[in-house]
Amino acid sequence: MHGAPETAGPILSTPVKVWIPHEAGRSLIGELPPDTTLEVFTGDDTSLPSDPATVEFWTPPFLSTVNATHLLDKMPRLRVVQLMSAGADAWVSRMPAGVTLCDARGVHDSSTSEWVVAAVLAYLRNFPAFARAQERRQWAYGPTDELAGKRVLIVGAGSIGAAITRRLEPFEVSLTLVARRARDGVHGVDELPRLLPFADIVVLVVPLTRATTGLVDAAFLAAMPDGALLVNAARGPVVDTEALAAELATGRIAAAVDVTDPEPLPADHRLWDMPNLLLTPHVAGSVRGFQSRAYRLIGEQVRRFAAGQPLENVVTDGY
């Protein structure tokens, strides 16, 4: 496990100072212990609310990159970093000794699973082409594909994978789940070569780790059947961008992605011109209800920390 053990230690004898990234979080976080000091730090280093050396519990801004981790060196009293994202790849290898890293597992289940269903339906029912036709004032009638009857392979069987499963079940699809290790009702990632040729839709919701970086390479894509759809709601580097672009250029498969590598995608990148690609700018978790769910978790974590209780969502070495 990275940093401190799950029990964050005894209650501190001095007041607990907490940094959060939104002013709205003050009203969303709930009641905190009376010795808690709550301050807002939006991520702008030129406007620190106080001395970072006095902060013990920090929630960085949503989707913070590795650039935000430099502040860790200025926080000798820091004990907890509570992320607002389900992914912890920018932070997991950079935590100082004695600091516990927690992700936001559960916060983005509904929004990300909604994005996956929306992206799949939009692509299969040809909505991007119809939207372009609407801009041209063209009545572009024609039959489309459908979701019913499709074989869906979900790579990533955590809470988001489970949420996607629940939302896809009413669509009359067959569902197969894959995780790092096989368990009851879930296949192991080592079985992917056998499973991919039978998947009409492959959904990626794995965390970005050493093991998953480049997981979707040329061989992975070649194993997908003709006409299959790759859906990436994970992280851009899970997919080999050049391999994806090369495969899409053949027209053999299609893709719907919310993340890219690099990100943002450069304006001159050839992926922009792929007619068989649906691209959104990393918005799966960016919904209006996000803050209320995130601060509910943050408040629970602060109260646990102050009481010396085990924290939830602790990121481990097996991340």
CB–CB of 273/65 below 8 Å?
A: no
Q: 3-state DSSP helix/strand/coil percent for the chain, to nearest 5?
A: 35, 15, 50
User: Active site residue: 282, 300, 303, 312, which one?
Assistant: 282
Among this protein's residues, is 282 annotated catalytic? yes
- The separation between CA 308 and the C-alpha centre of its own chain, rounded to angstroms, equals 29
User: Active site residue: 6, 263, 300, 312, which one?
Assistant: 263
Rounded-to-integer distance, Cα 56 and Cα 230, Å: 42
User: Active site residue: 22, 105, 187, 235, which one?
Assistant: 235
For tokens 């692509």, the residue is 123
Rounded-to-integer distance, Cα 155 and Cα 161, Å: 8
Rounded-to-integer distance, Cα 100 and Cα 105, Å: 15
Among this protein's residues, is 194 annotated catalytic? no
Q: Which two tokens stand for residue 242?
A: 């050049």
Cβ-proximal residues to 183 (8 Å cutoff; 6+ apart), any chain: none
Active site amino acids? 235, 263, 282
